[in-house]
Structures are given as structure tokens and as C-alpha cells.
Amino acid sequence: MPTYKAPLRDMKFVMNELLEADQHLAAMPYYKDNDTADADLLGQVLDEAARFVETEVLPLNQVGDREGCVRDEHGNVTTPSGFKAAYRKFCDAGWPGLDADPQWGGQGMPHLVSIAMNEMITGANVAWGMYPGLSHGAYSALAAVGTDELKQLYLPKIVSGEWSGTMCLTEPHAGTDLGIIRTKASDNGDGSYSITGTKIFISAGEHDLTDNIVHLVLARLEGSPAGTKGISLFLVPKFIPASDGSLGERNGVVCGSLEHKMGIHGNATAVLNFDGARGWLVGEVNKGMNHMFIMMNAARLGTGLQGLGLGEVAYQNALAYAKDRLQMRHEPRVSREAADPIIVHPDVRRMLLTGKAYTEAGRALALWLALSLDTEHHHPDEAKRKEAGDLVALLTPIAKAFMTDNGFNVAVQSQQVFGGHGYIAEWGMEQFVRDARIGQIYEGTNGIQALDLLGRKVLMDGGKKLQSLAGTLQAFVEEHEGDEAIGDYVNQLGKAAQQLGSLTMVIGQKAMSGPEGADEVNAAAVDFLRFFGHVVYGYLWARMAKLAQDKIDGGFDKDGFYLGKVQTAKFYFAKLFPETKALAATIKAGNDPLAVDDRAVFGWEPDLAHA
Amino acid sequence: MPTYKAPLRDMKFVMNELLEADQHLAAMPYYKDNDTADADLLGQVLDEAARFVETEVLPLNQVGDREGCVRDEHGNVTTPSGFKAAYRKFCDAGWPGLDADPQWGGQGMPHLVSIAMNEMITGANVAWGMYPGLSHGAYSALAAVGTDELKQLYLPKIVSGEWSGTMCLTEPHAGTDLGIIRTKASDNGDGSYSITGTKIFISAGEHDLTDNIVHLVLARLEGSPAGTKGISLFLVPKFIPASDGSLGERNGVVCGSLEHKMGIHGNATAVLNFDGARGWLVGEVNKGMNHMFIMMNAARLGTGLQGLGLGEVAYQNALAYAKDRLQMRHEPRVSREAADPIIVHPDVRRMLLTGKAYTEAGRALALWLALSLDTEHHHPDEAKRKEAGDLVALLTPIAKAFMTDNGFNVAVQSQQVFGGHGYIAEWGMEQFVRDARIGQIYEGTNGIQALDLLGRKVLMDGGKKLQSLAGTLQAFVEEHEGDEAIGDYVNQLGKAAQQLGSLTMVIGQKAMSGPEGADEVNAAAVDFLRFFGHVVYGYLWARMAKLAQDKIDGGFDKDGFYLGKVQTAKFYFAKLFPETKALAATIKAGNDPLAVDDRAVFGWEPDLAHA
């Protein structure tokens, strides 16, 4: 059975040494007033979170995969053994409201801590973690744009964990393309709306963990314009509560079936049929897409964390196996048995270091974004809020796509360390691969993330957000290019950052050059995101290596933690960062090699008469 | 439900136009005498094979995945619904003996045809195909080194498909490292041996398709030297046959359990307990590893075909979905609906073309190796046999590892084309991913293939085999470097081939430079194999593009098939081949970034007192 230990040491290194989080948080009155800015306190919360996750959540991971969720003939869904009891303990300890506002019963902790805990939860049991994860998304959207009445009725119950939340976007014919959804809303004239339609792929869509489920549903109000500009957001509770929060009648939303999936079996992926269900408008009419993006951005970072958590747990187990498994001789010998632990073989080390390098950089990125979220929401200085918000907007698609792609690849390579045993269910490695695969698909496929990054976040504002980050990188490069420890990395980083800028210019020019411009953006986007991801990870690894080398030079590396950082940075720049060389070439190749003859290559004739 | 059409047109293109197979086969008396060298006949066999596979084998793929194999308390195993009936039809039609020698009841067809059919079978249903696949391996080993008595008793039954075969190598503590196996053999003094031990991960190890199962088992004869030089190969039948082939007593080999696996559920992966089972020596005492390699090389090419077949079927289904699924607008519009078929979006085309480019090059490699196997075994000219044998030896690890890595990646990207639907079982895409994953692990992990390639096949003979292939490439480059159609590809190929040579020199020098030399080989091997794979695929794509362009120029491209080849070659060199740029850098980086401090990076202290 796989094991998992929350990477507390590394989390605290990132928070305290890399980000110097307590100094930043102390500058924000919200955290100062809530007494939640202190590094020691945050560390204690993380320790407690780790204990909870390792004790209560981890043991349910394989059970959840084996049992899955079961739907009865009435549409009721039972979660796997132990899920409900663990969820209850989770609520009793106040974890659902960790970073929620105290006015709704939350603890007012920074995102920094809740995001670190989310990494732990997904590492231990991603399917279980999705139930509170979705609730958190619903909380964010409702808190941001709900009416006071809706907030007062729903938020305390969501923050306490008594009720859970969902995001209802996808329909059978509409996934990426929400502009064509058909679910309808009509005004009941009493402040409520009547919602009718079918939503699919609704994670945590129906279950037995909570008394009530609060669905946030995209639907089209009668008479609204076509496309994304005619979509509104509605709150549709499973049971309609009275104003005191007591549960009233069952609403017209039923789970029609559960999907049989590749992984995340412990989470109920529901088809939800809304049949004249009563709903309440959240935010403004026809602004549903904008409002939903509040949830989606949080969900995208949350999905990135799944890649991180699953990469970490897969790496941890591969590392343990590699120390234990004796196979083939090595010179010099390190065992008196007939074979040596496979960790001595360089190719095994390559696979393990890939896991370590990607997860530790991913953690640094995730917590950097978490602190930036805190800054965006709570810094007293508007310019700081804006700067942080821009960074979050720019890097969220990278956090989602790069972290889930790397997480999946790390899970696959960690499975490979196990040889044949990696393919066998009882070892648990194949579950990590299956569970990690969904992160690349949902909450906007990674291809869509890439378009969001290149099209919307980089090109649409004329490269301003990118230039702001490039300035930070440039300053770092100039400061350290002669550095003995990291000068070589910094040079590589500086060249890649410049190349990112020039590639952006080239794509931007092509994008504006004619009717095929959009195709050029689409053709380059995925490789561009990956290139950008390496620039970000390269920056973070160079910074971590510098910090660590200083500690070593100061005589503070008692357990080798800092030497580990320095050597992993070296590995990253030698073995992973060079992917940028291939990506630069494929980005430059543009759309031309993709603009093939449809009939010849794909056996497909566009029906141009219909166009 | 996924569909599959055997890629007959492409197979015939490779056989007839790229390889000009009939001319080569006609030069070999074995095929000439068996009347199996004629291109039309081979084409008809392929057509018939496609009909059988599409009608009988394909419909059982999802059933097999859902039902799996079931073992009862006595160790009997039932295969999924329909597997047995399809297998019977397969035998009735004579398919098991397609390329077997007529003296044992085979049809004497070239490997070229049987390997093409194997691709079809794995594309349609890899789990089902493994049953006859393993039998074929057992046939090869027995035919090559068995005694006349064993051959006469067993081969006709294996060739007819009445009995099946297995390869029993792995033990719980010994997978990659067969030198440490513990299964024992003792001489019964009557020409038979008594075999005792436990074998795991035995594909097709126990089932209900055949009356008897012929296990080929690696075991250690009492008094044999330690390591791989003390291992012998034994034939252990499930039922001991009388000399007339009638079945006698049940032998002491029992299926102790079946593994629960990530995929290939329809194939029984058995733990086999040998408890004083009677066996017969195959080949020479203590030469078991050499003999087993006869099976393993065939099995490795067969595993490569799994990557090819699964890549092909995943690509076919992604292509069909991309034509059908309407999502997001594109300019110019190609649909009168609110959204266009996703095949118009460049990033979707990128994923599809990746599938097409890798599978078509893989098919060319597989059939080139198949024809080389035919030449190695049956050419009258010894020099030709040696040359072909060297090529097969050199390229088999590439066929196994590069084709299964690409096959898995193509399956994953094809799944991605489906968005959320790709994660749902009923669409079948996630099964392709799960089924494809094992190919990278079994029959020697892809890391082991890379070591076999770089250490044994390239460096151990001083680079002679590599130089021979390099000569072929060099001649091709010189002939076509000014060519209008492929000159650019040929230049890229020529540079990469030279770089492959220089990288080999560098690694070779490091390998001999001291005690850490072996680590340098181990550190470079996986990236080296991938680089080498691209050189081989680049060569094949350039050749195919040249052939196709000539056909277009001659006015012979009626349906666009050749234009498709030309444009896919362009895509390959623009978007996939540039991976070599990254690989060259990571190969050059060598073992140094992997030679990290064990305690600091991995929290591991080698127990050197034991060394």
C-alpha cells in the first residue's frame, strides 16, 4: 500500500525562506487583524493539517478507487467506505473554512496555507479532496458576487462544511464551448428562476457527505443573446432551505447517472437533470461567464495542485521502492546481496530526480501564486493588488497545465521505477497515473489553458503582463549573472526569457497579419505554455539554489536539505530545462506544417456549402 | 464504442513501394518454394486477416476489459465472454501457423505478413492477441533449439493453435535481473527434470482457450554456477502428453492467483507455482538465457507492435471524433452550426498529426524489421543474412521502446482530443491508454532496452552495427541532399546522424575512462535511444516523402494518399524531429547531474559496510 508524508519541510522552506511570506502577510491588515500572518502559527497549522491528512484521508485512497461511488434507482449516491466519517472529522476540526472570511465562520487564514493543505489532500486522496474542493469554489463565487441574502443563507453552511457545492457548466454537446449551452432559466416572478436542462461531468454532483448540495449552474435566461454573452449564473440547492437554514422541499435536480471513469473513482461524476428546478440568480444577468471564472480560476489552481500532489506522492513511493528493490549489480557495490538497490542506477536516479525537480518547482509556483492571491485580495496598496492580480492571471494557466502535465509525467515515470509491479493495482502506482490523467483534461483542457495564456493573458493586453514578469526576471538575471553558484543557470534563464519575448513578438505579428492569425496562435499555444513554464520553473530553481547555497556557505546545512536543493537545481537545468530547445523550434515552425490538406491527410472534406 | 479499420493501404504501401518486398522475398528459395513471395498473394492474406480481426477480435475488446479473467478456487481460469469462440475460429482458419514452417503444419508465410497481422490484432484487442502471441514465441524458441523429439511432439500442436505457450522468467524478487532467479531444476534421471519455484507476471499463464499450455521456464539446475551463466530453459507442459500427443496426467504447475492490473484485463497474468513439475530441457544446459533471447527478441518486436497498434486505433478514433465533435468557432467557418468540427483547430490537428506521423513511421520500421527477419533466416547469401541479422539486433530495442513510448503518448494525446469524454470508459480511449502502458514496462523495461541498445548493440562491438546503418543513411543523404522535395529533411537527418555518431564516440570514451564508465552509459541510454529512434524515423519519413512526391509528380495520386505522406513528413520534421535538439543536450550533460549526494537528495545512506 502506498505511503504519503506531507512535504512539510519543503513547504516551510518555500513559505519562509523563498517567499518570506510572514513579512508580506504582516503588511496586510486583514491577516494582521485576524492574527493569521505569523510564520510560527502557519507552520503549526500545516503540521496539524499533515497529521489529519496522513491519518484520516490517506487510508481511504485505495478503498475509494476500488469501491467507487454507487447510485441507487432513486438517484441517491453512496460514497466509498470511510469517506463520510473522514469528511465529518474534517468539518469538526474546522478545515473547510480555513481561508474563509471570519464573517461567514471562516478562520481567515491566508490562501498560502489552504493551498498548501490542498496539495497534501490531493497527494493523499484526490477523489476525496474534490468534495471540499468544489465547495471552496462555490464559496469563492458566492462570496464575490452573491446578494447579501444568498450569502447569509448559504455561506455559513458551506464554510462549516454542512453543505457542499458544485460547478455545473458542461452539457453533452458543450464542454470547451460554453457559448452553446442550452440549459434554460425562466423568471418565476418571485425572485426565483426555473432551471431546466442536463449537465454532465459534475464532480461531487451527488453524494451522501452533506445534508444539502449547492449547485452553481450556468444557464441561458429566456431572451438572452446567443453565445457567452447570454449566460447567467444560478444557485440551485438540492433542498430548498428556509430563511433560517432549515431544509425544505427537495428541488427538481436529480442525478441521472454516474460516469464510469479511468480514475478518481471515489468522486461522484454525475449527470444532473434539472427539471424546472428553483434557482436564484448569482451576480448580474448575462454575466454568468465572468462570475464563473471566479470559481474557475480557483479551480484551475486547484487542479494544478492535483498534478503537484499526485506527482509528489508518486515520487515518494518510487523513491522508497528504489531504495528497497535489489536488482542488477553496480560498481561500486552498495549491498552484500547478489544485487544492489536500484536507486544506484543512473537511469533510475534520472526518473526520481525528474519527480523531485518538477514537484519542488511546482510547489514554489503554487505557493507564490497563493501569496499573490492573498496580496491581490488584501493588500492595502492598490498598485500591489493590481500587480499581484496580473501575476495570478498570467500564471494560473501555467499552474494548471504545466503542473498537471508534469504531474502526469512524473506519475508515469514513478510507475516505471516499479517495473512490472507498477502495473499491478495493489502497489497503488497505476492509480496515481489514472487519477493524474484527469487534471490535464478538466477545468479547461490544457490546450485551452495554453490559448488562455497566449491569446488572452499575453497577446490581448499587448504583452503588458508578460513584460512585468520579464522585468522581474531580467532584474534577477542581471543581479546574479556572475554568481559562482547560479551564474550558469541564470545565463540559461536569461537567454530563454529573451527568447520567450522574441517568440511572443513573432507570434503576435503573425496573429495580426491576416485571417489565419488566430490559427497561428492556436498552433503555437501548447508549446508556448510549456516553454513559458520552464522559464518560470527555471527562475524558481535558480532562486532556490542561490538561497540554498548561501545557507551551505553559512554552515547552516545540517541535514543536507540545502545541498539537495542545489543539486536538484543542477539536474533541472541539465536534464529538464533543455526541452526549451525543442520547443523554440516547434513554436517557430508555426501553423504551416499543420495547415495540411484535409482530404489527403485526414480523409475529411469540410462541408463548405454550410459555412 | 471505438472502431478499428486495419490500415491496409498503408501496409501495402510500405511492403510494395517502400520495401519492394516481393523482389527481396523472391530471392529467397524458402518463400519461392512455399509460393509465399508474391505481392498479390500477400495482399490477399492481409485483406483476409483484416476481415477476421475487424469482425471477430475487435468486438471483444471492451468486453475483455470489463470482465477480465476469473480464477476459481482450483486455479482454473476463465477468459472473458467470446474469447474462446474467437480463438477457435482463429485456429480453424489456420492463422496461428501463418509464418510457421510447413514441416510443422505452418503456412510458410514471411514474417512481413505475420507482423502486419499482429499489428492489426493488437490494434483491435491487445489482451486477446497476447494468447497467440505468446504461443508464437514458444514456437520460435522450440523450433530453434529444441530436440527433434520435443519438436515433433509439441510444434504441430502449437502451430495448429491446439496448445498455447508461455514465457516463465520473472520471479517475485527477480524481474530485470534474471541472474538471481531461484526456481530449481533437478535431474529425474529419465530424461526429464523436476522443476520447483514461483514465477510471476506470466502472461496467458493459465486460461481456457486451449487443451494444454506449454510453459517455457527458466530455472537453475542443481550445481550450476551463480548468475545468468547457470540458468537453463525447460519445457513444462500443463498436461504431460503421450508420444502420440494425447493428453496424460496433470503436471505440478498451478495458477496461484491472477494479478489485478491497470489494463490488458482480458489477458490472464498469472502467478504460477511449480511444485516438482516435470520438465524437459530445451537446448543446452546453462544456455537458457541465450535460448530465451530467441523468444525475447520476437517478443520485443511484438511488444513494439502493441505500441504501434494501440497508437493506430487511438489515432483512428480521435480522428473520427474530431470530424464529428462541434466546438468553438473557426475562421473560415466550415459548419452552419454554432460551432465547427474541432478538426479545424490547429492544436487538435497537431495532436492528430502526431498520431499519424508516429504510427506510419512505426509501421515502416516494423515491416522493415520483419523483412530483415525473413532475410536473416532465409536468404541464400550468408553476408546478406549477417547484415540483416545485425540490423534486426540493432533496431529491435528501438522498435520495442520507441514504438511503445510513442504508442503510449499517442494514446494519451488521442484521448486528449476527446476532452472529458476521453476519461469516460464507454468511449474506449482510456482503455487504450491503460493497455498501452504495459508495453513500456514488460519484455524488458524501456530503460533496459536503452541499455541493450547503447551498451550491447552499439558500444560492445565498437560501433560496427551502428556504422553499417550509418553508411546506409549517409548514402541516402548524399543522394538526396539537393532534392527539391526532401532536401531540407535530408539535411536535418544528415546532421542528426552525424551527431548520433559523435555522441556515441563521446559516451564510448567516457565508458572506458574509469570505474564510473558504466554509469555514463546508464545515464545516457534512454535519451540516446530516443535520439536514435528519431534518426531512424527521419530516414523512413524522408524516404516515404520522396517516393510519394515522385508519385504525385507522375500524376498517380488519385485519392491524395501520397500528398498525405508528403505533408505528414513535413509535420514530422517540423514538430517532432526537433526533440533531438533537447536530447542532444541532455545526452551531453552525462551522468554528472545524476551523481548527486544520496543522503542530501534522496535521504538514503548506502550501507557501504556491506559492499
pLDDT tens for residues A190-249? Answer: 999 999 999 999 999 999 999 999 999 999 999 999 999 999 999 999 999 999 999 999
Structural fold of domain B8-145: Butyryl-Coa Dehydrogenase, subunit A; domain 1 (1.10.540)
What is the distance between the alpha carbons of residues A255 and A77, in angstroms, rounded to a whole number?
A: 8
Q: Within an 8 Å CB–CB cutoff, is residue A522 touching chain B? A: yes
Q: Within an 8 Å CB–CB cutoff, is residue A1 touching chain B? A: no
Q: Do A446 and B356 make contact, defined as CB atoms within 8 angstroms?
A: no
For residue A608, pLDDT beyond 70: no
As its CATH architecture, domain A164-285 has: Beta Barrel (2.40)
| Chain A interface test: which of B347, B519, B599 (most A C-beta within 10 Å) | B347
Q: Do A420 and B412 make contact, defined as CB atoms within 8 angstroms?
A: no
Q: How far is B254 from chain A (nearest CA, A)?
A: 20
In order of B96, B133, B137, B158, B205, the CA distances from B164 in angstroms are 10, 9, 10, 6, 9
Task: Give the pLDDT band of residue A609 (cuts 50, 70, 90).
Answer: low
For residue B416, pLDDT beyond 70: yes
Task: Give the pLDDT band of residue A322 (cuts 50, 70, 90).
Answer: very high
Q: Do A335 and B610 make contact, defined as CB atoms within 8 angstroms?
A: yes
- Chain A residue numbers with beta carbons less than 8 Å from the beta carbon of B350 are 523, 526, 594
Q: Say which residues have a Cβ less than 8 Å from residue A246's Cβ, sequence separation at least 6.
A: none
Straight-line distance from the first to the last Cα atom of chain B, in angstroms, rounded to the nearest whole number: 56
Q: Do A180 and B339 make contact, defined as CB atoms within 8 angstroms?
A: yes
In order of A398, A503, A525, A534, B204, the CA distances from A464 in angstroms are 17, 15, 18, 20, 60
- C-alpha cell read off for A328: 542488477
Q: Within an 8 Å CB–CB cutoff, is residue A332 touching chain B? A: yes
Three-class SS string for A125-151?
HHHHHHHHHHHHHHHHHHHHHCCHHHH
| Residue B583: strand, helix, or coil | helix
Report the pLDDT averaged over residues B351-375.
98
Q: Say which residues have a Cβ less than 8 Å from residue A343's Cβ, sequence separation at least 6.
A: A319, A322, A323, A349, A352, B598, B602, B604
- Chain A residue numbers with beta carbons less than 8 Å from the beta carbon of B173 are 326
Q: What is the dihedral of CA B498, B500, B505, B510, to 10 degrees?
A: 150
| Residue A341: strand, helix, or coil | strand
For residue B610, pLDDT beyond 60: no
For residue A275, pLDDT beyond 80: yes
Closest Cβ opposite residue B579 in set A451, A568, A582 = A582
pLDDT score, position A335? 86
Q: What is the dihedral of CA A332, A336, A338, A343, to 10 degrees?
A: -60
B284 catalytic residue (yes or no): no
pLDDT score, position B607? 73
- C-alpha cell read off for B488: 531540407
- Compute the C-alpha angle B180/B515/A578, nearest 5°: 95
pLDDT score, position B335? 86
What is the distance between the alpha carbons of residues B569 and B575, in angstroms, rounded to a whole number?
A: 10
Q: How far is A567 from chain B (nearest CA, A)?
A: 6
Residue type, A563: L
Task: Give the pLDDT band of residue A334 (cuts 50, 70, 90).
Answer: confident
Closest Cβ opposite residue B570 in set A334, A575, A593 = A593
Q: Do A180 and B419 make contact, defined as CB atoms within 8 angstroms?
A: no
Q: Within an 8 Å CB–CB cutoff, is residue A318 touching chain B? A: no
Per residue in B560-594, pLDDT (tens digit) is: 999 999 999 999 999 999 999 999 999 999 999 99
- Compute the C-alpha angle B437/B438/B441, nearest 5°: 110
Closest Cβ opposite residue A331 in set B336, B518, B601 = B518
- Phi, psi (5° rounding) for residue B442? -90, 175
Chain A and chain B share a number of CB contacts under 8 A equal to: 304
Residue percentage of chain A with pLDDT more than 70: 99
Q: Do A338 and B179 make contact, defined as CB atoms within 8 angstroms?
A: yes
Q: Tell how strand A184-187 and strand A212-221 pair up.
A: parallel
Closest by CA to A237, choosing from A223, A227, A247, is A247
Cβ neighbours of B140 (radius 10 Å): 19
What is the distance between the alpha carbons of residues A99 and A109, in angstroms, rounded to a whole number?
A: 4
Class of domain B164-286: mainly beta
For residue B608, pLDDT beyond 80: no
Q: Do A560 and B600 make contact, defined as CB atoms within 8 angstroms?
A: yes
pLDDT score, position A610? 53
Query: Cβ(B178)–Cβ(B228) under 8 Å?
Result: yes
Where do the H-state alpha helices sit in B277-345? 288-324
Per residue in A66-122, pLDDT (tens digit) is: 999 999 999 999 999 999 999 999 999 999 999 999 999 999 999 999 999 999 999
Cβ neighbours of B556 (radius 10 Å): 11
DSSP secondary structure, A533-597, as one string? HHHHHHHHHHHHHHHHHHHHHTT--SSSHHHHHHHHHHHIIIIITTHHHHHHHHHHH-SGGG---
pLDDT score, position B145? 95
Rounded mean pLDDT of chain B? 96
pLDDT score, position A371? 97
- C-alpha cell read off for A216: 452553481
What is the distance between the alpha carbons of residues A111 and B409, in angstroms, rounded to a whole number?
A: 35
pLDDT score, position B298? 76
Query: Cβ(B318)–Cβ(B418) under 8 Å?
Result: yes
Closest Cβ opposite residue A420 in set B442, B589, B594 = B442
Active-site position among B443, B484, B516, B579: B443
Q: What is the DSSP letter of B571?
A: H
Q: How far is A438 from chain B (nearest CA, A)?
A: 7
Query: Cβ(B313)–Cβ(B155) under 8 Å?
Result: no
- Chain A residue numbers with beta carbons less than 8 Å from the beta carbon of B337 are 610
Q: Tell how strand B193-203 and strand B269-282 pair up.
A: antiparallel
Q: Within an 8 Å CB–CB cutoff, is residue B175 touching chain A? A: yes
Task: Give the pLDDT band of residue B297 (cuts 50, 70, 90).
Answer: confident
Task: Give the pLDDT band of residue A299 (cuts 50, 70, 90).
Answer: confident
For residue A465, pLDDT beyond 90: yes
* Nearest residue in chain A measured CA to CA from B565: A601
Closest Cβ opposite residue B567 in set A445, A561, A601 = A601
Give residue for cell 533496459.
Answer: B448
Q: Tell how strand B212-221 and strand B232-237 pair up.
A: antiparallel
Q: Do A430 and B438 make contact, defined as CB atoms within 8 angstroms?
A: no
Q: How far is A604 from chain B (nearest CA, A)?
A: 7
Q: Do B434 and A262 make contact, defined as CB atoms within 8 angstroms?
A: yes
For residue A14, pLDDT beyond 70: yes
For residue B309, pLDDT beyond 90: yes
- Chain A residue numbers with beta carbons less than 8 Å from the beta carbon of B600 are 560-561, 563-564, 567
For residue B611, pLDDT beyond 60: no
Q: Within an 8 Å CB–CB cutoff, is residue A174 touching chain B? A: yes
* Nearest residue in chain A measured CA to CA from B528: A347
Per residue in B374-389, pLDDT (tens digit) is: 999 999 999 999 999 9
| Residue B483: strand, helix, or coil | coil
How much of chain B is in helix, strand and coil states, percent to nearest 5?
65, 10, 25
Closest by CA to B266, choosing from B41, B491, B59, B50, is B59
In order of A480, A489, A560, A574, A576, the CA distances from A485 in angstroms are 9, 9, 17, 14, 19
Active-site position among A443, A479, A516, A520: A443
Q: How far is A335 from chain B (nearest CA, A)?
A: 5
Residues 376-435 of B with CB under 8 A from A: 412, 415-416, 419-426, 430, 433-434
- C-alpha cell read off for A18: 523563498
- Phi, psi (5° rounding) for residue A92? -55, -35
Cβ neighbours of B557 (radius 10 Å): 18
- Chain B residue numbers with beta carbons less than 8 Å from the beta carbon of A353 are 593-594, 596, 601
Task: Give the pLDDT band of residue A516 (cuts 50, 70, 90).
Answer: confident
Q: Say which residues have a Cβ less than 8 Å from residue B519's Cβ, sequence separation at least 6.
A: A346, B591, B594, B595
Check if the interface score ipTM surpasses 0.90.
Answer: yes
Report the pLDDT averaged over residues B325-344.
91
pLDDT score, position B515? 77
Closest Cβ opposite residue B560 in set A352, A518, A600 = A600
Q: How far is A121 from chain B (nearest CA, A)?
A: 22
Closest Cβ opposite residue A575 in set B338, B519, B589 = B589
For residue B466, pLDDT beyond 90: yes
Rounded mean pLDDT of chain A? 96
| Chain A interface test: which of B8, B168, B334 (most A C-beta within 10 Å) | B334
For residue A477, pLDDT beyond 70: yes
What is the distance between the alpha carbons of residues A590 and B187, in angstroms, rounded to a whole number?
A: 68
Residues 440-479 of A with CB under 8 A from B: 440-442, 445-447, 450-451
Task: Give the pLDDT band of residue B399 (cuts 50, 70, 90).
Answer: very high
What is the distance between the alpha carbons of residues B84 and B368, in angstroms, rounded to a whole number?
A: 33
* Nearest residue in chain B measured CA to CA from A176: B327
- Chain A residue numbers with beta carbons less than 8 Å from the beta carbon of B446 are 416
Q: Within an 8 Å CB–CB cutoff, is residue A596 touching chain B? A: yes
Q: How far is A283 from chain B (nearest CA, A)?
A: 26
| Chain B interface test: which of A260, A347, A441, A522 (most B C-beta within 10 Å) | A347
Q: Do A261 and B424 make contact, defined as CB atoms within 8 angstroms?
A: yes
